[in-house]
Amino acid sequence: MDQQILGDLAKPILDSVYQRAVRTTKLKVIEYTPKAASESIVGAPGVILCFVARKGSDILKLAARATRDPKAAAELTKRNQAQTKKFTKVPLEKAVDMMVKADVFAELRLGPEVLVQSLFIPAGADFVFEEFAYNGGPIPKDGFRLLERYKPGTSEALEAIILKGDPELTEAEMAALKSVPSDMWALNVSRPLCCGDSYTAIGVVVLAVAVTLVVACAAAMPEPKSLNASKIAKLGPAATARKLLEMRQAALLKILPRG
């Protein structure tokens, strides 16, 4: 994208940020292992999902159940399909305008890293979500946090939940991941793997339009090959962690809808 366009879009975002109050919430993490391949649930091994909804919504409880209950997964998918029909693609400029006019938008953080700089719920939608690849390594002790930027005086607030699907790892892979220094643990999670109907630019991810919820069973995502002990010894812990994440990301991209 043209750098001048990026510059033009940055100003309204920064102006909006400076005018807003801030609150931070540590997010609950639901850890799960996908069930039998015959049972379609939300998520997959080596996948982290973040669901964001307006405070007080029942969506987060439904999303948590959807990791283990096919009926809840079907209901969540149905509700997402219903809201998807209300939206069409919009240019990035329009998406940014929608975001800065919202009473509240938020950042998703993991340790020192900002995974998603701006999330908001557009009018007519009940929730938004993001997918991330995950290599199975440790997560920073301060965990995932939602930093909301809200207009003073508004009663609107957001809440979020993290669904963490642990991948199967060999003993050698687990040992390597545990040897990675704690200040690098945030790198065990990828940047968001937006479907083609999302927009990413100037550090802003807008999930406002026509998205398809990833509902995967244990067999839906091809399982990456394991790294053998000699390969791990050659790479070292940090490079092994990066390689495992790259492999998970490639597998996840094969099942994500692209637009």
Beta strand 21-26 pairing with 144-150: antiparallel
Spatial CA neighbour of 203 closest among 47, 79, 99: 99
Q: Give the 3-state secondary structure of residue 162.
A: strand
Q: What is the pTM of this model?
A: 0.86
pLDDT at 85 > cutoff 60: yes
The rounded distance, in Å, linking the Cα atoms of 28 and 50 is 10
The rounded distance, in Å, linking the Cα atoms of 26 and 110 is 10
9-25 pLDDT tens trace: 677 778 888 889 999 99
45-78 pLDDT tens trace: 888 999 999 999 999 999 999 888 889 988 988 8
Mean pLDDT of the chain: 81
The DSSP string of 169-199 is: --HHHHHHHHTS-GGGGGGGBPSP---TTSE
Contact indicator for 126, 53 with CB cutoff of 8 Å: yes
pLDDT at 180 > cutoff 60: yes
136-155 pLDDT tens trace: 999 999 999 999 999 999 99
Strand ordering across the sheet containing 158-165: 28-32, 158-165, 47-54, 127-133
115-135 pLDDT tens trace: 888 788 888 888 888 889 999
Beta strand 47-54 pairing with 21-26: unpaired
For residue 121, the model assigns a pLDDT of 87
- Cβ-based neighbours of 7, under 8 Å, separated by 6 or more: none
